[in-house]
């Protein structure tokens, strides 16, 4: 503890005074504004932000450069809650869990309260992350060095178990969904052996299926489809005025200060572990809050404000934690941190002991940058949250035409291939079907994120340690906790006498919704069989996961078909359905629901067809005007104005600023001089 001496305090004070100079604060604020803007755009993450800003930092002084970069990175997870809460569209992978309670709050007219709670918890979470970063840098070396591949494997298994087991009265559904996600994540080239897995003759699949279009398809499209089915505004009325709702959100966060502290600490700890991304951190924090908060198992996913506070505190705290291994050891936690590491080295700073001694003032300037960025970012969001909350009361014919093109562009950032848009469509259909039939979607996404890491860690653990890695204390603790979480619903089922409630033979029948079991089991059997011809190291992971999927799916289906449901008084014994509920009020028949859903996805296909012919940018205004005129009978004047504004936004940001490539089109191939926006 001798590190915390007068020299340390002097360095921290010098770093703060240096950072507070006007020209450096300007760059910090600029980074914050860029980060908030990126957070609003689905699919455009911190990697894009770093790629945009890093080239401008090479001629800047290091304090201003890193203030701008960290200002941008620190607040992306502050503003990405806006589309998540208002529309159910996760701005990035790290805001998926916020949808579960944020969107139901918006539907109740409490959007301003939910947004305010998100901003406040993000602010405190970011400050907690900065404090933990400042305190832990000199102490973290023994801890980080003790984490080897087996511990990482145990942590990933524990992360999957946290979510997959929380799947209502059919806990095995979560395991089936998680295994399906893991198998999807295994599509592509196996890193260890070079084996092609389930790629067919498609070059697109050889590098694996990108995460962004799957996330937007599984979470965003189903919510927008529900909006198109209901044909109403997201919220019929505002429960609170903007100012009252904002005050209520702040009060909610302060009242749950211990939850913020716990989840902030958890987020910073997970952020310090390389490979644990925001897509994992928010679900673990959400699961922790559900397990520990009073009454959470009955109220979470129905609009409990604690369900937005927990993941947002963890997400922003994670940014501070992720700098610990990078500054102390030069180990970036992801691609974005790798770019930041490169920028540091360009400026002549090498991570390691020098950052804790010779360049201690620069290190603490990074700590202050994170803290100040969270304060500025939360403040800017508070100023605008009242206006954002009013968006939820707009007609669906004004919301869908604006959101859908941005989702298409965001999904295209997965690998910038036409395949991204087809994956978006397929994932959207699967996600909407799962939502309607009460299959929880979070385990699928978490399995997708962690599946590749889990297989890699397992391979390395066996190759380096044999079976001895199972005896490492940290691994034993993590696997024991995962086993308890997995098996707890089964124990509850047995205690309720589940096996004794067999249905009479005359009442046994397979319903149409049970076909989803057959779909997942069929996929599992196909993948299990096809994997047996591969190299051993390439097939061991798919074999284990597909076997678990088939067994869990078969048991769950048998339980649903042959075992009677529990008595009404025991309905909550199996846990919570961890997903956003469908807006089913009984007023729409199944036929009407299916026809409207087919119509929604028909507009999607029409957009793709038009884009393949004339390109993305020309398609956007045409489809917006067509949708508004056909679906809502909106006026020509309003339709054209909105179409031109959205097109200008997409063209200005994505074409002129970010300079992304666009999907190819027939006109672009025939007339290359017209190739703007893929045309």
- For every residue of 457-475, DSSP letters joined together read HHHHHHHHHTTGGGGSHHH
Residue at 52 is within a domain: no
Residue whose entry in the numeric block shows the structure tokens 């990074």: 366
Top mean pLDDT of 42-51, 135-144, 373-382, 491-500 is at 373-382
Structural domain contains residue 1? no
Res 378: pLDDT? 83
User: What is the structure's pLDDT at 605?
Assistant: 93
Q: How far apart are CA 29 and CA 18, in angstroms?
A: 15
Task: Please determine, for residue 112, whether its predicted confidence score (pLDDT) is greater than 80.
Answer: yes
Pairwise pLDDT comparison (243 vs 408), residue with the higher score: 408
pLDDT at 62 over 80: yes
Q: Which one, of 126, 153, 169, lies nearest residue 375 by Cα? A: 126
The string of DSSP codes covering 558-569 is HHHHHBPPPPGG
Report, as an integer, the average pLDDT of 89-97: 72
Backbone angles phi, psi at 502, to 5 degrees: -70, 140
Q: Are residues 233 and 303 in the same domain?
A: yes
Cα–Cα distances (Å) from 524 to 164, 539, 556, in that order, read: 17, 13, 14
Helix, strand or coil for residue 116? helix
What span, in angstroms and rounded, lies between the C-alpha atoms of 307 and 290? 8
- Please report the pLDDT score of residue 220 as a whole number: 80
Question: How confident is the model at residue 343, as a pLDDT?
Answer: 78
The pLDDT value recorded for residue 678 is 55
Q: Is 44 within a domain?
A: no
Specify whether the CB–CB gap between 308 and 299 falls below 8 A: no
Q: Does residue 668 share a domain with residue 549?
A: no
Q: Are the beta carbons of 250 and 129 closer than 8 angstroms?
A: no
Tell me: do 169 and 247 sit in the same domain: yes
3-state secondary structure of 397: helix
Instruction: Please report which confidence band the pLDDT of residue 180 belongs to, taking 50, 70 and 90 as the band edges.
Output: very high
pLDDT value, residue 16? 83
Query: Buried b / exposed e across 277-296, counting CB within 10 Å, b at 16+?
Result: bbbbbbbbbbbbbbeebeeb
**Which of 222-236, 268-282, 495-509, 579-593 has the highest mean predicted lDDT (pLDDT)?**
222-236
* Three-class DSSP category at 86: helix
Give the residue-averaged pLDDT of 537-560: 86
Spatial contact of 87 and 234, defined as CB atoms under 8 Å apart: yes
Regarding whether 524 and 622 lie in a shared domain, the answer is: no
pLDDT at position 3? 47
Asked if residue 56 belongs to a domain, the reply is no
CA angle in degrees (0–180, nearest 5) for 32-446-150? 100
Which of 535, 559, 574 terminates a domain? The answer is 574
Residue the block writes with tokens 């074409």: 655
Residues 494, 609: one domain? no
Q: Considering only 305-314, 323-332, 541-550, 581-590, which range has the smallest mean pLDDT?
A: 581-590
Identify whether residues 126 and 268 lie together within a single domain. yes
What is the spatial distance between Cα 381 and Cα 88, in angstroms, rounded to a whole number?
18
Same domain, 183 and 328: yes
Residues 491 and 636 in one domain: no
Please count the residues of the chain.
Answer: 679
Is pLDDT of 197 > 80?
yes
**pLDDT value, residue 583:** 54
Task: Say yes or no: 567 and 631 in one domain.
Answer: no
3-state SS, residue 189: strand
Flag whether 186 is in a domain.
Answer: yes
Q: Read off the pLDDT of each residue in 373-378 and give the average, rounded to a whole number.
A: 84
Confidence of residue 352 (pLDDT cuts 50, 70, 90): low
State whether 557 and 633 are in the same domain: no
Q: pLDDT tens for residues 304-343?
A: 889 889 888 888 788 777 777 777 766 666 666 766 777 7
* % pLDDT > 90, the chain: 10
Give the DSSP H or E segment for 196: strand 196-197
DSSP state for residue 70 in the 8-state scheme: H
391 located within any domain: yes
Q: How many folded domains does the chain comprise?
A: 2
Most confident of 146-155, 363-372, 585-594: 363-372
- Is the model's pLDDT at 282 over the cut of 90? no
Q: Which residue has the higher pLDDT, 204 or 353?
A: 204
Q: What is the pLDDT of residues 394-439, one digit of tens each?
A: 787 888 888 888 888 888 877 788 888 999 999 999 999 988 887 8
CA 391/CA 375 separation, integer angstroms? 25
Q: Rounded CA gap, 100 and 308, in Å? A: 8
pLDDT > 70: percent of the chain? 78
Question: What is the predicted pLDDT for the residue at 184?
Answer: 92
Residue 638 lies inside a defined structural domain of this protein: yes
Q: What is the mean pLDDT of residues 224-247?
A: 74
Helix 6-19 / helix 22-40 crossing angle, nearest 10 deg:
80
Q: What is the pLDDT of residues 67-76, one digit of tens each?
A: 888 888 877 7
Supply the DSSP symbol for 437: T
Residues 504, 392 share a domain:
yes
Q: Nearest Cα to 576, choosing from 205, 229, 187, 289? A: 289
Q: What's the CA gap between 247 and 113, in Å, rounded?
A: 8
**Beta carbons within 8 Å of 670's beta carbon, 6+ residues apart:** none
Parent domain of 645: 599-674
Strand pairing partners for 577?
167
Q: Across 36-45, 178-187, 504-513, which has the greatest mean pLDDT?
A: 178-187
Centre a 10 Å sphere on the Cβ of residue 218 and count the other Cβ atoms it contains: 25
Shared-domain flag, residues 525 and 644: no
Give 599's pLDDT tier (boundaries 50, 70, 90): very high
* Whole-number pLDDT of residue 137: 67
pLDDT tens digit string along 390-406? 776 778 788 888 888 88
CA distance 261 to 574: 29
CB atoms closer than 10 angstroms to residue 4: 12
Residue 579 lies in a domain: no
What is the residue-averaged pLDDT of the chain?
79
C-alpha to C-alpha distance for 455 and 597, rounded to whole angstroms: 37
């Amino acid at each position: 503890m001798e590190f915390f001496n007068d020299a340390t305090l002097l360095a921290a004070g010098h770093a703060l005074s240096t950072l507070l100079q006007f020209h450096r604060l300007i760059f910090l604020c600029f980074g914050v504004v860029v980060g908030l803007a990126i957070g609003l755009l689905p699919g455009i993450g911190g990697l894009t932000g770093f790629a945009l800003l890093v080239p401008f930092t090479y001629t800047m002084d290091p304090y201003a450069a890193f203030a701008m970069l960290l200002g941008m990175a620190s607040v992306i997870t502050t503003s990405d809650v806006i589309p998540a809460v208002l529309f159910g569209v996760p701005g990035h992978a790290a805001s998926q869990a916020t949808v579960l309670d944020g969107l139901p709050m918006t539907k109740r007219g409490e959007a301003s309260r939910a947004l305010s709670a998100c901003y406040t918890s993000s602010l405190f979470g970011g400050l907690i992350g900065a404090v933990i970063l400042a305190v832990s840098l000199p102490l973290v070396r023994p801890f980080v060095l003790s984490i080897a591949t087996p511990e990482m494997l145990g942590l990933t298994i524990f992360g999957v178990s946290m979510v997959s087991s929380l799947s209502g009265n059919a806990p095995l559904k979560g395991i089936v969904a998680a295994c399906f996600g893991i198998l999807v994540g295994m599509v592509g080239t196996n890193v260890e052996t070079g084996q092609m897995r389930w790629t067919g003759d498609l070059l697109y699949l050889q590098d694996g299926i990108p995460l962004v279009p799957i996330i937007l398809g599984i979470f965003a499209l189903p919510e927008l489809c529900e909006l198109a089915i209901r044909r109403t505004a997201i919220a019929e009325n505002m429960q609170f005025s903007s100012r009252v709702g904002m005050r209520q959100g702040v009060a909610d966060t302060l009242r749950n200060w211990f939850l913020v502290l716990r989840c902030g600490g958890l987020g910073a700890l997970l952020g310090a572990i390389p490979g644990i991304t925001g897509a994992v951190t928010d679900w673990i924090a959400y699961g922790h809050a559900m397990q520990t908060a009073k009454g959470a198992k009955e109220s979470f996913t129905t609009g409990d404000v604690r369900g937005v506070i927990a993941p947002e505190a963890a997400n922003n705290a994670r940014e501070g934690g992720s700098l610990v291994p990078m500054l102390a050891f030069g180990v970036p936690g992801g691609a974005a941190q790798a770019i930041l590491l490169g920028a540091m080295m360009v400026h002549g700073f090498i991570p390691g002991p020098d950052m804790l001694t010779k360049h201690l003032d620069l290190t603490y300037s990074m700590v202050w940058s994170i803290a100040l960025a969270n304060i500025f970012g939360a403040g800017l969001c508070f100023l605008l949250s009242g206006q954002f909350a009013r968006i939820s009361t707009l007609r669906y014919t004004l919301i869908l035409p604006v959101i859908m093109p941005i989702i298409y562009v965001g999904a295209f950032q997965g690998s910038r291939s036409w395949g991204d848009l087809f994956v978006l469509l397929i994932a959207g259909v699967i996600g909407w079907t799962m939502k309607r039939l009460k299959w929880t979607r979070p385990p699928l996404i978490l399995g997708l994120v962690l599946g590749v890491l889990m297989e890699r860690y397992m391979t390395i653990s066996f190759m380096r340690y044999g079976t001895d890695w199972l005896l490492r204390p940290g691994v034993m603790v993590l696997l024991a906790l995962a086993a308890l979480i997995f098996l707890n619903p089964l124990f509850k089922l047995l205690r309720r006498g589940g096996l004794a409630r067999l249905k009479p033979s005359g009442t046994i029948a397979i319903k149409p919704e049970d076909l989803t079991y057959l779909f997942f089991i069929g996929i599992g059997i196909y993948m299990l069989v096809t994997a047996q011809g591969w190299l051993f190291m390439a097939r061991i992971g798919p074999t284990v996961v597909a076997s678990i999927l088939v067994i869990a799916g078969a048991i769950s289906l048998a339980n649903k078909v042959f075992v009677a449901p529990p008595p009404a008084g025991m309905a909550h014994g199996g846990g919570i359905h961890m997903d956003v509920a469908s807006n089913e009020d009984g007023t729409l028949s199944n036929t009407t629901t299916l026809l409207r859903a087919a119509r929604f996805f028909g507009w999607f296909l029409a957009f793709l067809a038009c884009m393949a012919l004339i390109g993305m940018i020309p398609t956007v205004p045409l489809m917006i005007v067509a949708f508004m005129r056909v679906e809502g009978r909106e006026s020509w004047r309003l339709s054209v104005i909105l179409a031109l504004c959205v097109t200008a936004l997409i063209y200005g940001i994505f074409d002129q600023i970010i300079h992304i490539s666009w999907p190819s089109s027939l006109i672009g191939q025939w007339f290359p001089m017209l190739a703007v926006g893929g045309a």
